[in-house]
Amino acid sequence: MPLPRTLLSASQIDRKLPALRGAARTLERALPASGWIRALRESLGITAAAFGRRLSIAQQNVVKLEGSERAGTITLASLRRAAAALDADFVYAIVPRKGLRETLSARARELAQQRIAPVAHSMRLEAQGLSDRELKDQVEELAQELERRPRELWR
């Protein structure tokens, strides 16, 4: 049976993760204390007033814009506009901490254990319990089934 499109997509992203993580670490270490906008603007010798004219905003709004970047409250649209005004590229990414397939697999096992535990408990009470190995196999089988239907993992 072929892999669902979701799992193929997760696998494609997982293949890119090492490069993305490396780029993220490099960018994190390079982040100027004043923020990228101000650092680039000042390095290019552009005054706040001149930068404001390029963005069609007042000089005091440039100060607010740079402050909102430092505070982490700036919008993506504002970052894009500022980057364009600085003749720079704007790069945006969300880099998963671990592989997506790993996340899906762990969530599937967790959910499978939650679903099987009450049944296994009832069977034990009725003296029909499964061995530890049989229980583990049942959890793994259900986890594999759930992993093939990722949308069910997050309900």
Question: What digits encode the pLDDT tens for the residues 36-63?
Answer: 999 999 999 999 999 999 999 999 999 9
Quick one: 28 and 51 in the same domain? yes
44: containing domain: 5-85
What CATH number did the domain enclosing 52 receive? 1.10.260
For 4-39, the DSSP string reads PHHHHHHHHHHHHHHHHHHHHHHHHHH--TT-HHHH
Q: Which residue is associated with the tokens 């003296």?
A: 127
CA distance 98 to 96: 5
Instruction: Note whether residue 38 is domain-resident.
Output: yes
Domain count, the chain: 2
Instruction: Note whether residue 37 is domain-resident.
Output: yes
Instruction: Note whether residue 92 is domain-resident.
Output: no
Q: What is the widest separation between alpha-carbon atoms in the chain?
A: 81
Look over the chain and give the mean of its residue pLDDT values, rounded to a whole number.
91
Quick one: 81 and 109 in the same domain? no
What would the mean pLDDT of 120-131 be, rounded to a whole number? 60
**Which sign does the torsion angle of CA 52, 56, 60, 66 carry?**
negative
Tens-place pLDDT, residues 66-99: 999 999 999 999 999 999 999 999 999 999 999 9
Question: Is 24 a residue whose pLDDT tops 80?
Answer: yes
Quick one: 77 and 104 in the same domain? no
The pLDDT-based confidence of 4 (bands split at 50, 70, 90) is confident
